[in-house]
Amino acid sequence: MNEAQAATTRFCARVAGPFLIVVALMILSRADTFPMLLPTMMQDAPLVMITGVWTLLLGLIFYAAHHHLGSPAAIALTVLALVVVVRGAMLMVLPETLITIAGQVGQVPPIMMGLTALLGLVGLWLTYVGWMAKKV
Amino acid sequence: MTEAQTRTTQFCARIIGPLLVIVGAVVIARAADLVLLIPAILQDGPLTFITGVFTLICGLVVLAAHHHWSGAPAFVISLLAVLTIVRGVVLMFAPSFLTGVVHQVLNLGPGVLLAGVVALLIGAWLSFIGWFAKPA
């Protein structure tokens, strides 16, 4: 990984890390209402389409800026960028499939809590890599 | 402030300045509409949540790129980044808190117009710094 790639990984980790922490904390703090939020959102087709457009755009910018795999943090960020691209595309093309998946995950609290904990831990690790670690 | 930091401040001012000018002008021109529109947005749970997600991402991107505080423009840009992050987090965690604050501001009468004028002036100043002023 060259110097420019390391700088890009650090920058992306500084954004993605705190974002994942906030998302995980939000899901935990609103665990009662969060499973209802996604199905409610999915009933609003224009909102789903607009969210898909912006998510896809964000994912494509993220992937265009960061698509190298030179370290564990770089791999995690590149995979995350691809996940954002796929999620954005699915929100636009196959919203029903996403509703089904989100609904099934939301109905099994251990799986939802496990995924949330994983998000939080990855967020903590990326925040450390972005803001504190000397080497990415 | 290093040369790289000065360039970053100028770049951020070129984006945030015109954005605040347009937002300020819209607030002044459509103050009567916004008084009805903002509470309606905040009553829409999924829309508020998605707005919070994208607001948080924007704030984190600006703060990751610009987190130095030397000089008035740099201070204002970093402060705006932090405020954007806080607003995104509040929209995701406690939208009802924000609804209460918005109701109080809207009931102040000229509060909305005043906010629009402040945004317009800060935007004009940052636009000048970004596009016309010679770097210090």
Q: How far is A79 from chain B (nearest CA, A)?
A: 18
Q: Does A87 fall in a domain?
A: yes
Q: Does A61 map to a domain?
A: yes
| Residue at A81 is within a domain | yes
- Answer yes or no: is A115 within a domain: yes
Q: Which residues of A touch B64 (CB under 8 A)?
A: 11, 14-15, 130
Number of structural domains (chain A) is 1
Closest-CA residue of chain B to A33: B45
- Which residues, at least 6 apart from A74, have a Cβ–Cβ distance to it below 8 Å? A1, A5, A9, A66, A68, A136
Question: Of B59, B65, B73, whose CA–CA distance to B125 is shortest?
Answer: B73
Per the CB < 8 Å rule, is B50 touching A41? yes
Inside any domain, residue A132? no
DSSP A64: H
A60-92, pLDDT tens digit by residue?
A: 999 999 999 999 999 999 999 999 999 999 999
Give the per-residue SS3 of chain B: CCHHHHHHHHHHHHHHHHHHHHHHHHHHHCHHHHHHHHHHHHHCHHHHHHHHHHHHHHHHHHHHHCCCCCCHHHHHHHHHHHHHHHHHHHHHHCHHHHHHHHHHHHCCCCHHHHHHHHHHHHHHHHHHHHHCCCCC
Cβ contact, residue pair A37, B65, below 8 Å: no
- What distances in angstroms separate CA A78 from CA A5, A55, A59, A91, B71, one per listed residue? 12, 15, 10, 20, 35
Q: How far apart are CA B4 and CA B81, in angstroms?
A: 18
| Boundaries of domain holding A25 | 3-124
pLDDT tens for chain B, residues 1 to 136:
899 999 999 999 999 999 999 999 999 999 888 888 888 888 898 999 999 999 999 999 999 999 999 999 999 999 999 999 999 999 998 888 888 888 787 777 788 889 999 999 999 999 999 999 986 6
Domain extent listing, chain B: 7-130
- Which residues lie closer than 8 Å to B20 by C-beta, 6 or more apart? B119, B120, B122, B123, B126
Unique residue bearing structure tokens 């609290």: A109
Residue A133 maps to a domain:
no
Helix, coil or strand: residue A13: helix
Q: Number of residue pairs across A and B with CB atoms under 8 Å?
A: 42
**pLDDT tens, residue by residue, A86-121:** 999 999 999 888 878 887 887 888 898 999 999 999
